[in-house]
Chain A
């Protein structure tokens, strides 16, 4: 029973969301049971359902880990959306600029670029918080818009195929394509864009757990988040931990570019994210900031994104936006649950 206790609040939030969601579906005039059967059934079918559920879960694992890691430092990073755009663009930029390179050099270079660009975009609000006390929430929101405008500019003026009506860059070099899982999992067609980025996401879960629990830096980040004054008194340079946490958080969010650019579209597509960076907040809260929790929550939301597409097509009236409503209700319930007051109540005071 003890192992079930941390699951109680998240499960209650999910249940509440589905019940309220059912009421909404009824009010709109569709059958909630049929809707949910469709939602879940289409997310768990083999191979398409599971393949796409894992594909959609991949960016959510990266961004969910990003938000969770920052939360451990007492920081709310709502800039994962901007960080993932920067990361994805950087991956595409490397893939285009060094298109002639062989895969063994090009793929790692593009991956590092995505982490670097995302990390930089996270480091800026981290630095501004540490140096000037400027609140990370406002700065990350502002940087989201700046990242979208900036990548949009590069696509429109510099990296678009001449004459292309779609706002997307040219294709990346052949060598930058990463392996799709369909190539070695029998029964899984390669048209499903689930790639080794999913394994990287699993690896990132393990890495974040080890980092937070087993390393000195991880300990210092957690100490900073738990009580900045006490941490400072204990000799931890909290400013540096804030910058470190935001940089790593941004780098994790930037890794979304690996699956989306190197494994799926093979180019940067303007506006490609359906809000992965914001769903990440739901993922991190529902997963209780724990890497395993983040993984489970990301799988749930990945399944909802996949199932939502089918609800959109095959029900009379309900659209895929039902998923947004479920997601918002889950965040509200988790935020209101008493178990979750503690980590945020202690958030360092700052300007907002």
Chain B
């Protein structure tokens, strides 16, 4: 049992929390602006595939990382256009994006690498094991400051809570929601890049394996607040680390450890651990009144 609290476990927890944290913080900006983002999974897959592919061809992980951010922004734009301009259901659009990016990387890897969904191995010196981790944890205080202290953050929250009032005060609901969704795309893109260039050394089919949804769970568990969300990500990262560590020797089957984030989220949503209050206008389209 003491293995659970070793330095190696701490390192492993931080490493495994990083993609969750990046995606969850991104999702927070989208949701605080009123746009539900269950497309985190698809955004991460787009980022992971782009990062590995561009790094393979360019030989530079930094160019790969930038490309992953660009991919995240591009895919997030699909979500923004559909939800903000066409008033499409946020959950339906997000699901479509998740399905789309299960398919697109697999299709493209067939064309680029003649494989069924994986990119070639990327050499050790072209990996980014540290930068995204630092970026993720530095972003926590920054996100806190942006949301609770900056003018942009105040407006973003206003749009997510009461778009009519924000609009009356001269704030562009559409522009702020676009900003929220784009930030989620960029951060989820980095999260994906970390999966293929940091935790692993190539892209494999469906390599997120539900991490986008765990990030969403962490966001809810953290009640849409940066510091609590970070703690939730660390908890879920720890659960994953424990599951890996105890494979085969666990007193408790691994499957039950894997369930922890999901069960906790259900419990929190039911209101058993304090009240989890979502932004008021979350998921509700806003149409400027005519005249």
CB within 8 Å of B: which residues of A?
24, 27-29, 76, 78, 128, 131-132, 134-135, 137-139, 141-143, 145-146, 149-150, 152-153, 156-157, 275, 278, 281-282, 285, 317-319, 321-325, 327-329, 331-332, 335-336, 340-341, 344-345, 347, 349, 351-352
* Given known A-B contacts A318-B110, A332-B78, A78 and B100 have beta carbons under 8 A apart: no
* Alpha-carbon gap, A319 to B99, bound state (A): 15
Closest 4 CB pairs of A and B: A324-B103, A328-B100, A331-B96, A153-B255
Q: Which residues of A contact B96 (CB under 8 A)?
A: 282, 328-329, 331-332, 335
Contact between A331 and B92, CB atoms less than 8 A apart? yes
Residue from A131, A324, A329, A345 within 8 A of B87 (CB atoms): A345
* Given known A-B contacts A134-B271, A351-B278, A336 and B111 have beta carbons under 8 A apart: no
Residue from B86, B100, B110, B256 within 8 A of A153 (CB atoms): B256
Contact between A335 and B107, CB atoms less than 8 A apart? no
- Return the chain A residue nearest B264 by Cβ: A142
Q: Which residues of B contact A349 (CB under 8 A)?
A: 284
Q: Does B152 contact A (CB under 8 A)?
A: no
Which stretch of B7-15, B47-55, B213-221 is in the interface?
B213-221
Contact between A28 and B108, CB atoms less than 8 A apart? yes
* Alpha-carbon gap, A149 to B263, bound state (A): 12
- Return the chain A residue nearest B81 by Cβ: A336
15 A-B contacts (beta carbon < 8 Å)? A27-B111, A28-B111, A134-B269, A138-B216, A138-B265, A139-B269, A145-B262, A153-B256, A318-B107, A319-B107, A324-B100, A328-B103, A341-B285, A345-B89, A352-B220
Q: Which residues of A contact B154 (CB under 8 A)?
A: none
Q: Does B266 contact A (CB under 8 A)?
A: yes
- Closest CB of chain A to B215's CB: distance in Å? 12
- Closest CB of chain B to A347's CB: distance in Å? 8
* Given known A-B contacts A142-B262, A336-B86, A351-B269, A28 and B253 have beta carbons under 8 A apart: no
Contact between A281 and B95, CB atoms less than 8 A apart? yes
* Given known A-B contacts A319-B106, A322-B103, A149 and B269 have beta carbons under 8 A apart: no
* Alpha-carbon gap, A41 to B49, bound state (A): 32
Contact between A328 and B97, CB atoms less than 8 A apart? yes
Q: Does B246 contact A (CB under 8 A)?
A: no
Contact between B266 and A139, CB atoms less than 8 A apart? yes
Contact between B38 and A137, CB atoms less than 8 A apart? yes
* Given known A-B contacts A128-B270, A138-B216, A325-B104, A76 and B87 have beta carbons under 8 A apart: no
* Alpha-carbon gap, A145 to B264, bound state (A): 13
Q: Which residues of B contact A146 (CB under 8 A)?
A: 259, 262-263
Q: Which residues of A contact B87 (CB under 8 A)?
A: 341, 345
Contact between A285 and B217, CB atoms less than 8 A apart? no
Contact between B103 and A321, CB atoms less than 8 A apart? yes
- Closest CB of chain B to A309's CB: distance in Å? 13
- Closest CB of chain B to A246's CB: distance in Å? 14
Given contacts A29-B111, A78-B95, A325-B100, 14 further A-B contacts (CB under 8 A): A78-B91, A138-B265, A139-B269, A141-B38, A142-B262, A157-B253, A319-B106, A321-B110, A322-B103, A325-B103, A336-B82, A336-B93, A340-B89, A351-B277
Contact between A149 and B110, CB atoms less than 8 A apart? no
Q: Which residues of A contact B282 (CB under 8 A)?
A: 352
- Return the chain B residue nearest A76 by Cβ: B91
User: Interface 1/0s, chain B 5-41, versus A by CB < 8 A?
Assistant: 0000000000000000000000000010000101000
User: Interface 1/0s, chain B 189-224, versus A by CB < 8 A?
Assistant: 000000000000000000000100100110010000
- Closest CB of chain A to B265's CB: distance in Å? 5
Contact between B266 and A142, CB atoms less than 8 A apart? yes
